[in-house]
């Protein structure tokens, strides 16, 4: 298998930085963990510093960008975890499931190596598009709906799983697709877009960028969506998944 971020991951850690508020939402479900496996760990965001964490990441490009203070990492895929059964009390993954080649295999591996609890952050494909994916890049919404697991799929694979909406701060310091919902000019920056994998799947992004740039310049964006800036955070479909083994 080829790791997606070996192709598109250069400079990833510049635009994708852990948001402490999102981290806090995740960590509340890891309290008391004896050991944590972070699957699809990327450059090391959202790894609790006070817990015993081991990271798994398939992309050598991502591994190179991990800081010296990050958790130890093994290069491996979610679908084939190189660990014995029940080795970890907890496992976690943050916005990586949609990159897996075989989700069922990955889910089975999680259940095999996890004794107590699995925690994930994902996006609900039944969610409505937000302004970027509705008015400017509907291709992103269509692609994401096709690659993210449905909540029903997660229920099937993890009986008894619970879901908790994850609202995104207006000044989110991470750089995933909807992180800049209150800062539309950010999407015009190629460095910002480089941290969003779905943009790499669109054949031609220029028409959408031109419409967004034009609407920002003439004030149309503010007339249609400026009211969103009144919110401190927004529900744009991201979800924390918690399953107790």
The dihedral over CA atoms of 83, 123, 196, 203, expressed in degrees to the nearest 10, equals 110
Q: What is the pLDDT of residues 149-204, one digit of tens each?
A: 999 999 999 999 999 999 999 999 999 999 999 999 999 999 899 888 889 889 89
Give how many domains the chain has, as a whole number: 1
Q: Can you tell me the distance from the alpha carbon of 55 to that of 87, in angstroms, rounded to the nearest whole number? A: 13
pLDDT at 15: 52
**Smallest Cα–Cα separation from 84: which of 103, 105, 107, 109?**
109
Please give the structure tokens belonging to residue 43: 């450059």
Q: Which neighbouring-strand residues pair with 93?
A: 120
- List the CATH number of the domain containing 106: 3.40.50.150
Q: Can you tell me the distance from the alpha carbon of 89 to that of 113, in angstroms, rounded to the nearest whole number? A: 8
Q: Report if pTM > 0.75.
A: yes
Residues 6+ apart with CB under 8 A from 31: none
CB 57 within 8 A of CB 41: yes
Q: What is the pLDDT of residues 111-152, one digit of tens each?
A: 999 999 999 999 999 999 999 999 999 999 999 999 999 999
Please give the structure tokens belonging to residue 22: 């999102």
Please give the structure tokens belonging to residue 157: 């694979």
Confidence of residue 12 (pLDDT cuts 50, 70, 90): very low
Q: What is the pLDDT of residues 79-118, one digit of tens each?
A: 999 999 999 999 999 999 999 999 999 999 999 999 999 9
Expressed as residue numbers, the domain containing 100 is 4-244
Please give the structure tokens belonging to residue 167: 């609202």
Q: DSSP 3-state assignment of 163? A: strand
């Amino acid at each position: 298998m080829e790791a997606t971020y070996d192709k598109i991951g250069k400079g990833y850690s510049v635009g994708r930085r852990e948001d402490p508020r999102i981290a806090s939402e995740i960590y509340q479900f890891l309290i008391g963990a004896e050991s944590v496996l972070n699957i699809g760990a990327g450059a090391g965001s959202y790894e609790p510093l006070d817990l015993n964490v081991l990271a798994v990441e398939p992309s050598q490009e991502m591994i190179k960008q991990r800081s010296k203070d990050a958790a130890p990492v093994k290069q491996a895929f979610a679908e084939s975890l190189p660990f014995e059964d029940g080795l970890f009390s907890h496992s976690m993954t943050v916005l990586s499931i949609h990159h897996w080649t075989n989700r069922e295999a990955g889910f089975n591996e999680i259940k095999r190596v996890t004794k107590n609890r699995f925690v994930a952050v994902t996006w609900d494909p039944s969610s409505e598009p937000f302004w970027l994916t509705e008015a400017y890049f509907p291709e992103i919404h269509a692609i994401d709906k096709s690659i993210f697991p449905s909540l029903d799929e997660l229920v099937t694979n993890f009986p008894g799983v619970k879901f908790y909406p994850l609202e995104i701060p207006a000044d989110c310091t991470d750089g995933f697709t909807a992180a800049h919902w209150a800062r539309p000019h950010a999407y015009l920056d190629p460095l910002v877009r480089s941290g969003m994998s779905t943009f790499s799947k669109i054949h031609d992004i220029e028409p959408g960028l031109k419409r967004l740039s034009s609407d920002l310049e003439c004030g149309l964006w503010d007339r249609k969506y400026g009211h969103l800036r009144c919110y401190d955070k927004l529900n744009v479909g991201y979800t924390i998944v918690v399953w107790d083994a």
